[in-house]
Amino acid sequence: AVKEVEEIGMLLPQVEESVLSIGKFNSMVSLAAFFPFKSAQAALENINAISEGVVHADLKLFLETNLPLSGKKKASLGVSDAKIGAALQEELNVSIQTGGVVAEITRGIRLHFHSLVKGLTSQAASKAQLGLGHSYSRAKVKFNVNRADNMIIQSIALLDQLDKDINTFSMRVREWYGYHFPELIKIVSENSMYCRLAQLIGNRKELTEEKLESLEEVVMDSAKAQAILEASRSSMGMDISPIDLINIERFSNRVVSLAAYRQGLQEYLRSKMSQVAPNLAALIGEVVGARLISHAGSLTNLAKYPASTVQILGAEKALFRALKTRGNTPKYGLIFHSTFIGRAAAKNKGRISRYLANKCTIASRIDCFSELPTSVFGDKLREQVEERLSFYETGEVPRKNVDVMKEAVKEASLAQAHLKRDSLGDDDEGAEETPAKKKKKRKSEAEVEQPEADETEQADPPKKKKKRKSDADGVEVKVEEPEDNGTEQADPPKKKKKLKIEKVDEEPAIETPEMPVSGKKKKKKDAAE
């Protein structure tokens, strides 16, 4: 409870310093009520609710119990967070105040909290705050929606770093081994292949025709392998000592292993992109899609971007330089690395980049907000970009977007149903073996019996046979026999008669309601008598 406060004087440095002294602060602020949390879990639930701007039941109960809602002077509730303040105003219908005064008072309460509450020490309060902070951070990391994106962002960053490092190390191997065998650089231009050859050849003077097959395996060309062998015989390189050769081989071995690791990392990135953003990967490729996600920060951020932002994503420097100098703005950013813009003519590069950015935005939104991700929409969007590219080149009119999306929705629904069926099948396999086998047997027997019954019913439709039997009173009674199954129809006719006689004999025991006899039937009976 705040006794008095002056908003104008609060901004003075003397007043701000007076908040630090407990005596002066107690003269302005007094503790009215305190409600400790029952457990650490309850504290975590409350802080999660506050961070999301939701009024928790514990907070509502505490305020309703201790806040004076009726009286001459209406109480004003000071809240440091404007979001939770708006939610409290809707729930409790009280005046809420947020701003400078509230922030200063909250700072003083946080500073002197252990002295305001009896039996609480500063050490215990700091321990409780630290524990709650750790659990809150852990929960936020655990329930982070973008945690799958983080793996993609780290993978593409590592992939780019590996490309730079492998290129640098390969140039070092070329320069180092080039002292001994300079002609090899002209024959083999690829970095990873050069490192493997340096590892294989070693001393060029020891290279003989026996190693020709292994050279062909590395180079994948017999002419190149023969050229390497001939160049080694007439090389102008300097002689090299065995210890230097060992170091070169070790270093080239490291470069080769890094190149192999890069291949594995690229496969991992491809699999993660097919799980997280399959449509974006199908449309623009795994590497370019991963770079877009990494540059945006997450898939959710990329889905929020408009198509115009996605188009120039990665070309921010060029954009601001063009705006500053009033020059031409860039037409594309990271999406330039896709194959579509490279295949387009110079006059159509801007048009196809704009169209591709549109489709990338759609694909990222589908990936972000769909429950079961499939690559159906990505394939259809890729087809649309291909058709638009051919339209720019040949003038062939592409399909309408409505028709393509209808096809995509149908295929996506079928694919999602298939995925659900597979997931249900995997769950059933995890159950015990014996009940599963019994269920499968029952299902198979039922499936076998159903087709047989259908065949017999289609071959001979069941006819209801009726028999008329007269009682002692002369009332006609209709006796309906049950429908015969296909198995009973296959029996000889004599058995049928026996069954019918038995049923007829048993029926008098059943009380049948007297049927009303029409006037015409009565007249016929009188004439017969």
Task: Name the pLDDT band for 144 (thresholds 50, 70, 90).
Answer: low
- Residue 513 DSSP symbol: P
Task: Name the pLDDT band for 10 (thresholds 50, 70, 90).
Answer: low
Average pLDDT estimate for 5-12: 58
Q: Is the pLDDT of residue 188 over 50?
A: yes
Q: Which residues have CB under 8 Å from 447's CB, separation 6+?
A: none
Q: Which residue has the higher pLDDT, 188 or 477?
A: 188
- The answer to whether the CB of 166 falls within 8 A of the CB of 255 is yes
% of residues, the chain, pLDDT over 90: 27
In this prediction, residue 485 carries a pLDDT of 43
CA distance 93 to 305: 37
Q: Is the pLDDT of residue 522 over 60?
A: no
In this prediction, residue 481 carries a pLDDT of 45
Average pLDDT estimate for 14-23: 72
Q: Is the pLDDT of residue 238 over 50?
A: yes
In this prediction, residue 73 carries a pLDDT of 67
Q: Which residue has the tokens 């907000």?
A: 369
In this prediction, residue 382 carries a pLDDT of 93
CA distance 287 to 316: 20
In whole angstroms, what separates CA 419 from the centre of its chain?
A: 14
**What residues does each domain of the chain span?**
13-141, 150-264, 277-420
In this prediction, residue 489 carries a pLDDT of 43
CA distance 215 to 203: 14
Interior angle at CA 164, CA 278 and CA 185, nearest 5:
120
Interior angle at CA 394, CA 390 and CA 399, nearest 5:
50
Q: Which residue has the tokens 């320069």?
A: 175
Q: Is the pLDDT of residue 495 over 70?
A: no
Task: Name the pLDDT band for 160 (thresholds 50, 70, 90).
Answer: very high
Structure tokens belonging to residue 271:
């699999």
Average pLDDT estimate for 502-507: 41
In this prediction, residue 515 carries a pLDDT of 47
Q: What is the pTM of this model?
A: 0.58
- The answer to whether the CB of 465 falls within 8 A of the CB of 506 is no
Query: Across all residues in the chain, what is the average pLDDT?
Result: 78
Q: Is the pLDDT of residue 455 over 60?
A: no
Q: Is the pLDDT of residue 124 over 70?
A: yes
CA distance 274 to 151: 13
Nearest in space to 106 (alpha carbons), one of 179, 184, 10: 10
CA distance 176 to 385: 47
Q: Which residue has the higher pLDDT, 72 or 407?
A: 407
Q: Is the pLDDT of residue 523 over 50?
A: no
Q: Is the pLDDT of residue 436 over 50?
A: no
Q: Helix, strand, or coil here: 295?
A: helix
In this prediction, residue 282 carries a pLDDT of 93
In this prediction, residue 365 carries a pLDDT of 93
Average pLDDT estimate for 461-465: 44
In this prediction, residue 53 carries a pLDDT of 85
Task: Name the pLDDT band for 195 (thresholds 50, 70, 90).
Answer: very high
Q: Is the pLDDT of residue 106 over 60?
A: yes
Least confident stretch, 5-19, 118-132, 179-193, 462-476: 462-476
In this prediction, residue 123 carries a pLDDT of 84
Q: Which fold has domain 13-141?
A: Nucleotidyltransferase; domain 5 (3.30.420)
- The answer to whether the CB of 21 falls within 8 A of the CB of 45 is no
| pLDDT tens digits, 47-94 | 888 888 888 888 888 888 887 766 666 777 888 888 888 888 888 878
Average pLDDT estimate for 183-199: 89
In this prediction, residue 442 carries a pLDDT of 55
Structure tokens belonging to residue 248:
């070169």
Structure tokens belonging to residue 288:
């370019």
In this prediction, residue 96 carries a pLDDT of 81
Average pLDDT estimate for 198-202: 89
- Number of other CB atoms surrounding residue 525 within 10 Å: 11
Least confident stretch, 177-186, 239-248, 283-292, 368-377: 368-377
Over 164-226, what HEC string results? HHHHHHHHHHHHHHHCCCCCHHHHCCCHHHHHHHHHHHCCHHHCCHHHHHHHHHHHCCHHHHH
**9-23, 305-319, 445-459: which is most confident:** 305-319
Domain 277-420 has CATH 3.40.50.300: no
Distances in Å between the Cα of 371 and the Cα atoms of 208, 298, 525 are: 61, 17, 77
| Domain 150-264 architecture | Orthogonal Bundle (1.10)
Which residues sit opposite 480 in a β-bridge?
466
- Residue 33 DSSP symbol: -
Helices (H) and strands (E) in the chain, counts: 27, 4
| pLDDT tens digits, 303-358 | 999 999 999 999 989 999 999 999 988 888 999 999 899 888 989 999 999 999 99
